[in-house]
A and B are shown apart, each in its own frame.
Chain A
């Protein structure tokens, strides 16, 4: 086991490579997931408000169409 982590004396170079790749890939993935969740939740919230607006506009046909 110790031999495996030593990597023939090059453990100080091999392990940081793998750790760096893992950290960078997880960070990019996590940031992307956070962005999707935030934006899609926001969009849903705004869309929930919209039908109300539209009905109000329909009820009052006085203002000219866009």
Chain B
């Protein structure tokens, strides 16, 4: 694990991975869109609105996946003090927040015609809204302190505390009765989705994951450059101070 804690090594590996993740993202999202909109059937009950699922469900998965990744990175940062772990957690947060937001809005757009309402306060919808607030809280906290290390530590603790919400989201539809239907894909006894609808769903999910890798690497690069800049500036201020001070000391002695 420590092998990847070196930013220079991370940047080398990232440069190798990046073209592949871009290719996978473009291909999977392209094919996914084709299948979602053209080459998949309408649902026997929900008609064409089932196409919202190909955005809504992979977005929900990303919201939970990114949060889990953020919590794991935060734990690594707290326990082993990896500078890279902190940085990856911070780079993941906006992606997770964006997908959670997309999930909530597309859910409303799907709920209105099918359920007859944009929003209800059932366990699934409420816990998903809480996830969005956890992301926003994390991002605000990470930037709230003048000392970036302190902000990062507080945010990492929030990420870890909030991770209990992820299993609650997943099983909310089983533990309580909700307006939202139970799980269709990850469930006992195999998925309850026809294979023709599974294809666009999986393609979009793969595309979203690859997109996350692309953005994660970009944001990590920006964070690494930012950290280097901070160290350089500190060294400069230090050096500038030292150029003047020794003279004064020499004059004194």
Contact = CB atoms under 8 A, between A and B. Distances in A.
> Are these two chains actual partners, yes or no?
yes
Given A13-B109, A28-B98, 6 more contacts: A10-B47, A24-B102, A32-B215, A36-B225, A39-B222, A39-B229
B246 A64 contact: yes
Contacts of A29: 211, 214-215, 218
Given A13-B112, A14-B51, A20 B222 contact: no
Interface of A: 7-10, 13-14, 16-18, 20-21, 24-25, 27-29, 31-33, 35-36, 38-40, 42-43, 46-47, 50, 53, 57, 62-64, 66
A55 B37 CA distance: 62
Interface string B204-233: 000000010011001101100110110011
Nearest to A36: B222
B113 A17 contact: no
Contacts of B49: 7-8, 10, 13-14
Contacts of A17: 51-52, 55-56, 105-106, 109-110
A31 B95 CA distance: 11
A32 B218 contact: yes
B113 A53 contact: no
Contacts of A42: 225, 229
A57 B242 CA distance: 11
Contact of A21 (B95, B102, B110): B102
Contacts of A63: 242-243, 246
Interface string B105-124: 11001101100000000000
Contact of B225 (A10, A18, A39): A39
Interface of B: 33, 37, 42, 47-49, 51-52, 55-56, 59, 94-95, 98-99, 101-102, 105-106, 109-110, 112-113, 211, 214-215, 218-219, 221-222, 225-226, 228-229, 232-233, 236, 238-239, 242-243, 246
A7 B51 CA distance: 9
A40 B227 CA distance: 11
Contacts of A33: 218
B106 A20 contact: yes
B225 A8 contact: no
A32 to B, nearest CB: 4
30 contacts: A7-B48, A7-B51, A8-B42, A8-B47, A10-B49, A10-B113, A17-B51, A17-B55, A17-B109, A17-B110, A18-B33, A20-B102, A21-B59, A24-B98, A25-B211, A28-B95, A28-B215, A29-B214, A32-B219, A36-B218, A36-B222, A39-B222, A40-B222, A42-B229, A43-B228, A43-B229, A43-B232, A46-B233, A57-B239, A64-B246
